Structure 1
Amino acid sequence: MAATSFALAACGGGNGGDDEASGGDSLVQRAQDAGSLKIGIKIDQPGIGLQTPDGGYEGFDVDVAKYIAKELGVEEGNIEFVETPSAQRENAIERGDVDFIVASYSITDERKEKVDFAGPYFLAHQDLLVRADDNSITDAESLNGKKLCSVRGSTSAQNVKDDFAQDADLQEYAGYSECLTGLENGAVDALTTDDTILAGYAAQNAGKFKLVGAKLSDENYGVGLRKGDTEGRTAINDAIKKMQDDGSWEAAAETWFGPAGYEVPQPPAIEQ
């Protein structure tokens, strides 16, 4: 049914106005008609979005996605989670591969040109992960002369080198798991990306790593959806606000980030 909805949307037949600009019915209408949703998530980020050995999915973003779906009238069993790599998120929304995306998706002006965002639902920061017994790295400037790891294609490590530690030795690995292995065995001295992602890895490897708490940037996570879908954006914002007000947001954040000693911030103000 979801596939049929997307096919009809591609042929036109929108409701006019903003929904017509988005290429079809609003998210709200599609959820009602199909009774199901395709939601884009990350599947390799502990604490954020992770595929478990039994084929399930867990993490803070997964909890947010389930809550939004429930408020749209879709039960958990009728959600299809779809892996959406960072470089493919805008394309996945524009093609109709997913109904919306909750995947550590930072709101930027460049991305707003292609998709709309609800939220933000979380304020993250770029941070540093180091070995638990390493007291030599206390901020970004102390990375001078140190080996700093990030995943290939990410700008996080280069930002540190450009803005804070020009003498940092950048190491690019294929994925975060390789960086973690390198950090554990001493091949690298620190790993940098969003603090939420780092907190997930620290919690998964209790006692091995710690966050520095550098807060090198502000990353407002938003829910990406089809451009021009004002009704869908409003519905998601209402769901996020309800999740904050009834305590579900804080409970989920503490569950997934708290074990790493991560201090959960107050939820950010939602952009109306």
Structure 2
Amino acid sequence: MKVPKAGAVAAVIALAVTASGCGGDDPKEPIGIGIKFDQPGIGMREPDGTFTGFDVDVATYIAKELGYKPSEIEFKQVFSSDRELLIQYNEVQFVAASYSISDKRKEKVDFAGPYFIAHQDLMVRADDNSITKAEDLNSKKLCSVTGSTSAENVKKNLAPKASLLELGSYSECVVALQAREADAMTTDNSILAGYAARKEYAGKFKLIGLNLSNENYGIGIKKGNADLQRKINSALTKMVSDGSWDAAVKKNFGPANYKNEPAPQVTSGN
């Protein structure tokens, strides 16, 4: 039997190592993350295709801690009505989309966090001093999205004589408010602050500063994925401790003079 020369053996080994390592630099499969595309300050797809907002910053930070670069993130649009479905059918690995933790939702998905506390509030025109509390909406027109629990809360419990204008999106309510077709709009204060902070709306709107409800935003994940829940909770804790959380709040909500709650204590099982 003819024995190969040492140099030939070395060449073969080197070739094999090179071939086996070819995939080492291949980009990893992108991580799918569900966000809102139409909520300024929270989750917004800008005209140039980039994404901005507090939830975007939180999601990007979590992805980094999970080992993903920004270029390896695939943001997918979610609506309030389909967040659970996208998680359950593995369309996204997690959802960060002003997603309030509730017992009803926990029947279908698990949550990491909470990472933010919002409150239902009212936004009015900056020159309107007639509305300082929810009860002042009696005989005035309140705008919110169709089927909003926020509007229902005001109408049922606080200002039963308010006239309700229901539109398809919060952006439409902002237009109506600016055009004086509505006197106020209501939803989470974080969403309202996001609109008020937009350059095109600078100085045109103000938040009243009410706490009409408590909304604990969490990161939605597939039920039973305790390992991912633990990793995301660790990332959220780190984001707060290294100052990135505060920086994201100031960047996204600061222009609206929004007085946010301090970062909430991350819990393990919610």
- The reply to whether TM is greater than 0.5 is yes
Q: Percent identity?
A: 58
Query: Which structure would you say has the larger Rg?
Result: 2
Render the CA deviation track for 1:112-149: whole Å, top value 9, x for unaligned.
00000000000000000000000010011111111000
* Aligned partner letter, 2:135: E
Asked whether the equivalents of residues 35 and 73 of structure 1 are also in contact (C-alpha less than 8 Å), the reply is: no
By how many angstroms is 1:152 displaced?
1.2
Counterpart among 117, 126, 141 of residue 123 in structure 1: 117
Corresponding residue to 2:266 among 251, 264, 270: 270
Q: Which amino acid aligns with 1:201?
A: Y
Letter in 2 for 1:180: V
Q: Is the 8 A contact 1:35 1:74 kept in 2?
A: no
Q: Equivalent residue of 2:182, what SS?
A: coil
Query: 115, 125, 128: which one pairs with 1:134?
Result: 128
Matched with 1:224 is 220
**2-side partners of 1:178 and 1:256: how far apart?**
21
State the match for 1:70 in structure 2.
64
Q: 2: distance between equivalents of 1:157 and 1:55?
A: 32
- Structure 1, unmatched stretches of 5+, are 1-32
Q: Which residue of 1 aligns with 2:211?
A: 215
SS in 2 for 1:87: coil
Partner Cα distance (2:41, 2:141) in 1:
25
- Report the AA paired with residue 266 of structure 1: P
- CA displacement, residues 177-219 of structure 1 (integer Å, 9 cap, x when unaligned): 2111111111110000000000011111111100001110000
Tell me if the contact between 1:156 and 1:192 (Cα under 8 Å) persists in the aligned partners: yes
User: How much has 1:34 moved relative to structure 2?
Assistant: 4.6
Contact kept, 8 Å, 1:258 with 1:264, in 2: the verdict is no
1:176 maps onto 2:170 in alignment: yes
Q: Given the two structures, how large is their TM-score scaled by the length of structure 2? A: 0.87
Q: What is the match of residue 258 of structure 1?
A: 254
One-letter amino acid matched to 1:124: A
Partners of 2:267 and 2:147 lie apart in 1 by 29
C-alpha contact (below 8 Å) 2:28/2:72 kept by paired residues: no
In structure 2, list runs of 5 or more residues that go unmatched.
1-26
CA RMSD after TM alignment: 1.1
In structure 2, C-alpha distance between the alignment counterparts of 1:153 and 1:81, rounded to whole Å: 26
Map 1:1-272 → 2, pairs under 5 A = 34-204=28-198, 205-272=201-268
Which SS does the other structure have where 2:197 is aligned? helix
Normalized against structure 1, the TM-score is what? Answer: 0.87
Instruction: Please list every run of at least 4 consecutive aligned residues from structure 1 whose deviation after the TM superposition is greater than 4 angstroms.
Output: none
Q: Does the 8 Å CA contact 1:158/1:170 hold for their aligned counterparts?
A: no
